């Protein structure tokens, strides 16, 4: 499958001109808004966390998605440390959702359609292990569903190359600085510049076909 050629453009340079700070670590990040006690939690790494967060926050049944870092060895990393690729962490989003409105299997379907699961070097223009793809399960049921969905993709014959997305047990999650939270709403012009400059939609459409408007900065 041929992938779009990614080039550094002025729009992409603008979108990449960001900086952030670390934050206190928790195994399950406290949501910014109160949510019901029976809310469920999922964690996905899918390249730039701005896009992962935006995709899930625009999904009915999701209370909130939080951008952050997980899967590495360094405690309380800053954004500037993570983007060097030296911490072992991946950019990720924790997703709080209502399991009565949306199932984990449905979240998995959304997740797959926001990534290229065969790209071992990152996602789109963002290169490095910090932009790798991974599903972090929080219990055995999530692990089984994630594995079943990955197996189904492999058996579908859609991909010429092997799927490299990992399925890993959830570990300590470090929320990114407030600057990065809800970035698609706080800075829609910069967010759209990043999405356009990184060829986000063309990349996904080359894999999955027409893409729903999961990444738009407006509601």
Secondary structure class of 69 (helix, strand, coil): strand
Which residues are paired to 126 by β-bridges?
123
Task: Find the distance separating the first CA and the last CA of the chain, reported in whole Å.
Answer: 32
Which 8-state DSSP code applies to residue 180?
G
Other CB atoms within a 10 A radius of the CB of residue 209 amount to 8
Which 8-state DSSP code applies to residue 98?
-
The Cα 45–Cα 117 span in angstroms is 11
Task: Indicate which residue of 23, 48, 55, 199 is catalytic.
Answer: 48
CA distances to 25, 47, 117, 124 from 114, rounded to whole Å, are: 26, 9, 9, 11
The Cα 90–Cα 164 span in angstroms is 14
> Which among 183, 178, 177 has a CA at the least distance from the CA of 54?
183
Which 8-state DSSP code applies to residue 76?
S
Annotation marks residue 51 as catalytic: no
Which pair of tokens denotes residue 154?
Answer: 């492999």
Annotated catalytic residues are: 48
């Amino acid at each position: 499958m041929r992938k779009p050629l990614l080039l550094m453009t002025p729009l992409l340079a603008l979108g990449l001109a960001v900086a952030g700070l670390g934050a206190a670590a928790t195994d399950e990040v406290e949501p910014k808004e109160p949510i019901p006690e029976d809310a469920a939690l999922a964690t996905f790494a899918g390249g730039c966390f701005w896009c992962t967060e935006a995709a899930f926050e625009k999904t009915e049944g999701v209370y909130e998605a939080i951008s952050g870092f997980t899967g590495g060895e360094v405690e309380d990393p800053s954004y500037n440390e993570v983007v060097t690729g030296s911490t072992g962490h991946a950019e990720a989003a924790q997703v709080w959702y209502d399991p009565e409105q949306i199932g984990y299997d449905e979240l998995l379907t959304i997740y797959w359609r926001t990534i290229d699961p065969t790209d071992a070097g990152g996602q789109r223009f963002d290169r490095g292990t910090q932009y790798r793809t991974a599903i972090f399960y929080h219990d055995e049921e999530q692990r089984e569903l994630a594995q079943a969905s990955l197996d189904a993709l492999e058996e579908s014959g859609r991909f010429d190359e092997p799927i490299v997305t990992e399925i890993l047990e959830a570990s300590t999650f470090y929320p990114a600085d407030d600057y990065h939270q809800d970035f698609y709403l706080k800075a829609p012009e910069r967010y759209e510049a990043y999405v356009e400059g990184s060829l986000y939609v063309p990349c996904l459409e080359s894999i999955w076909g027409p893409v729903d408007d999961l990444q738009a900065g407006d509601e």
